[in-house]
Amino acid sequence: MDYSLTWPEAAAVVLTAIGMYVALLVLIRLAGRRLVAALTVYDLALGLCLGSIVGRSILGHTPSLPAGVLGFVTLFLLHAGTRHLLGNPRVDRLLGGGPVLVMRDGQVLAEALRGAQLSEDDLRAALRRAGIGSYADVGVAIVERTGTISILRPGQATADVLTGVEGWR
């Protein structure tokens, strides 16, 4: 195993890691929350392939231990910086937005659901997982920033819980 890393190689690792991270964020933004909301076997296969491509791209033709460690550190710092910026409304919009109301008082908000790039089938699956047997039993359903769908029964949702949810007001 090669344990050497020149300064130009180190710079290439860092710049490639930054470029791949930004490209991945753009692709995730374009794919929407559906990518993480309902992870299927196909989504898992895509994730494994993407990870392999990103890893090989960052480490270059002949990976070395220092390049691997530098690539890890760069990606972790980028991730920490991104996590730190979440909550800022401008950054949230850029990275895919905050929580979105997709159901209110038993009615599906089709446009909001489409905007979150989810289908009504995805919503029905979330309702079943939450033990909801009828649309009438839903006060609000919210697609969270993580892609999960939170469901509250009628009367459970108060203004303090819904603050920051797009489409609530």
Segment 61-89 shows an average pLDDT of 87
Query: Quick check: 61 pLDDT over 80?
Result: no
Q: What per-residue string of b and e applies to 78-115 under the rule 16 or more CB within 10 Å gives b? A: beeeeeeeeeeeeebeebbbbbbbbbbeeebbeebbeb
Total number of residues shown for the chain:
169
Instruction: Quickly tell me which residue has 């989810």 as its tokens.
Output: 118
What pLDDT is stored for residue 134 in this prediction?
Answer: 97
Q: What is the pTM of this model?
A: 0.73
The model's pLDDT over 3-20, given as tens digits with 9 standing for 90+, comes to 788 999 999 999 999 999
The model's pLDDT over 103-160, given as tens digits with 9 standing for 90+, comes to 999 999 999 999 888 899 989 999 999 999 999 999 999 998 888 899 999 999 888 8
Superfamily of domain 98-162: bsu07140 like domains (3.30.240.20)
CB 86 within 8 A of CB 27: no
The model's pLDDT over 88-101, given as tens digits with 9 standing for 90+, comes to 777 777 776 788 99
Query: Quick check: 22 pLDDT over 70?
Result: yes
Higher pLDDT, 78 or 44: 78
| Domain boundaries along the sequence of the chain | 7-94, 98-162
